[in-house]
Amino acid sequence: MGKFADYALVYDISSDGERAKVDRLLKDFGFRVQKSVFECRLSRRDKEELLRRLKKLEIKTGFVKVYKLEFTYRSEEIGRVKSKNPDEGAAFIV
């Protein structure tokens, strides 16, 4: 079994068409935590595949940033507001 790492992918894209393509692609690799933020647990091979597919989209109206997450400490949430999950009702197969 390969080693996995956790990533946050954040996008800011103005074109509805490009944004929809990125959104569909990211749903294949992880789950949404905010409107334009996804968390993904990826093997090295999966990360390379995700980056390859993102580059193939040739995004012209914005960007996608990939951040490696480190969970060496417990995160804190301040002022948490209970809101509807944007992916509620979606099925994830792992």
Per-residue pLDDT tens over the stretch 9-61: 999 999 999 999 999 999 999 999 999 999 999 999 999 999 999 999 999 99
Q: Is residue 77 one of the residues assigned to a domain?
A: no
In a domain, residue 47? The reply is: yes
Residue 15 falls within a domain, yes or no? Answer: yes
Secondary-structure percent of the chain, ordered helix, strand, coil, rounded to 5: 25, 30, 45
Q: Calculate ∠ Cα 11-8-85, nearest 5°.
A: 80
**Domain assignment of residue 50, yes or no:** yes
Surface-to-core class of residue 42, CB atoms within 10 Å of its CB (0-12 exposed, 13-18 middle, 19+ buried): buried
**Domain enclosing residue 35, as ranges:** 4-69
* CATH, residue 51: 3.30.70.240
pTM: 0.73
Domain count, the chain: 1
Where residue 85 falls among pLDDT bands split at 50, 70, 90? low
Residue 60 covered by a domain: yes
* pLDDT at 93 > cutoff 90: no
